[in-house]
């Protein structure tokens, strides 16, 4: 199993110096990938339930900075040499696909093939309204964008005809570093996301606040069934995962599917996901203060990474 870290792209720690130091710190500790979260607009009032926190409330106040994910990754492509870079996840309906595909391919070239495109359909209705993006049709719009990336941009003369997007006989270079298509990791947890991953993904890449290995296994089996239905080889799709993590000084009562405890407890909990077949685990350390977060990350890296 490989491990990734979420970048501090929001809050007071979202600065040039912090991002550069954090990325190089992660690279030295042996993490394999850095992930930038996505947010373009933060409304002052959010009524939509946030699916990725225990409380259901969005965790970044609207008066805190939130850097644009692809810009951050382009910057870090020049500050690092080995660690991979990814967005978890790019909300596809927020941008025109030819625009984000060009930016993503450019980052992949500048990082010499270290970029991973995590994609999703979004969740915050208020953000869609501010961007004049189609919330009700976000799934269909996202599927069409992925069809475009999967088929429409792979040829020398690129043509695509869809309900929402169409172009004819255009050039699209670069397509990615030494390859014809960017790696696509499909986020989302429900049945629609599983079907999307089965059809278009190189990996299924959900984010769960907590999920037991048995629950994840059942959903993963559905992804594999959907891949067969779509005429794909299920072995071509990886199972990857995003989870929050809490590192404690003393042992705590364990809750299956929640990464909270001492390094020994965390190692045991993570091992169950590794045995299930999770190839990559992206970790979001739930520590509000940046210096303390670095201490937790280093403790995890030195105590857990060598054994999982």
Q: pLDDT class for 226, splitting at 50, 70, 90?
A: very high
Tell me the C-alpha distance between 247 and 304, whole Å: 11
pLDDT given at position 287: 92
pLDDT given at position 32: 98
Q: pLDDT class for 179, splitting at 50, 70, 90?
A: confident
| 142 touches 162 (CB < 8 A) | no
Q: What percent of the chain has pLDDT over 70?
A: 100
- DSSP calls for 221-262: HHHHHHHHHTT--GGGSEEEEEEEEEE-SS-----TT-EEE-
The whole-model pTM stands at 0.96
Please write down the long-range contacts of 150-156, taking CB distance under 8 Å and 24 or more positions apart: 150/181, 150/184, 150/200, 153/101, 153/181, 154/180, 154/181
- pLDDT, the chain, mean: 96
pLDDT digits (tens, 9 = 90+) for 21-30: 999 999 999 9
Tell me the C-alpha distance between 259 and 209, whole Å: 9
pLDDT of residue 308 exceeding 90: no
| 91 touches 122 (CB < 8 A) | yes
| 162 touches 178 (CB < 8 A) | no
| 277 touches 233 (CB < 8 A) | no
Lowest-confidence range among 53-57, 84-88, 142-146, 159-163?
Answer: 53-57
> Residue 165: is the preceding peptide bond cis (ω within 30°)?
no
Please classify residue 276 by burial: count the beta carbons closer than 10 Å to its beta carbon, then call 0-12 exposed, 13-18 middle and 19+ buried. Answer: middle
pLDDT of residue 66 exceeding 80: yes
CATH T-level assignment (fold) for domain 2-307? TIM Barrel (3.20.20)
pLDDT given at position 26: 97
Q: What is the mean pLDDT of residues 42-65?
A: 94
Q: pLDDT class for 197, splitting at 50, 70, 90?
A: very high
| 152 touches 80 (CB < 8 A) | no
The domains of the chain are located at 2-307
pLDDT given at position 75: 98
pLDDT digits (tens, 9 = 90+) for 243-289: 999 999 999 999 999 999 999 999 999 999 999 999 999 999 999 89
pLDDT given at position 178: 87
Closest CA to 33 of 71, 73, 60, 65: 73
């Amino acid at each position: 199993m490989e491990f990734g870290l979420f970048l501090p792209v929001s809050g007071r720690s979202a600065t040039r110096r912090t991002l550069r130091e954090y990325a190089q710190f992660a690279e030295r500790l042996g993490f394999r990938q850095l992930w930038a979260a996505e947010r373009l607009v933060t409304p002052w009032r959010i009524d939509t339930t946030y699916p990725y926190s225990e409380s259901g409330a969005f965790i970044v106040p609207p008066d805190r900075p939130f850097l644009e994910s692809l810009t951050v990754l382009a910057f870090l492509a020049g500050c690092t040499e080995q660690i991979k870079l990814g967005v978890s996840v790019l909300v596809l309906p927020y941008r025109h696909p030819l625009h984000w595909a060009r930016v993503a391919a450019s980052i992949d070239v500048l990082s010499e093939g270290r970029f991973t495109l995590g994609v999703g359909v979004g969740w915050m209705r208020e953000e869609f309204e501010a961007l004049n993006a189609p919330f009700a049709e976000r799934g269909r719009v996202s599927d069409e964008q992925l069809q475009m990336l999967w088929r429409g941009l792979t040829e020398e003369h690129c043509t695509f005809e869809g309900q929402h997007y169409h172009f004819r006989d255009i050039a699209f270079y670069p397509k990615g570093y030494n390859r014809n298509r960017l790696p696509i990791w499909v986020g989302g947890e429900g049945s629609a996301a599983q079907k999307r991953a089965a059809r278009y993904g190189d990996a299924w890449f959900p984010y769960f606040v907590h999920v037991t290995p048995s629950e994840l296994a059942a959903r993963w089996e559905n992804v594999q069934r959907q891949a067969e239905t779509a005429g794909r080889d299920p072995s071509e799709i990886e199972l990857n995962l995003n989870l929050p993590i809490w590192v404690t000084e003393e042992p705590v009562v364990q809750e299956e599917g929640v990464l909270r405890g001492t390094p020994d407890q965390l190692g045991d909990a993570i091992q169950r996901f590794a045995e299930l077949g999770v190839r990559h685990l992206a970790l979001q350390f739930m520590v509000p203060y940046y210096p303390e977060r670095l201490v937790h990350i280093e403790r995890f890296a030195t105590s857990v990474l060598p054994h999982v």
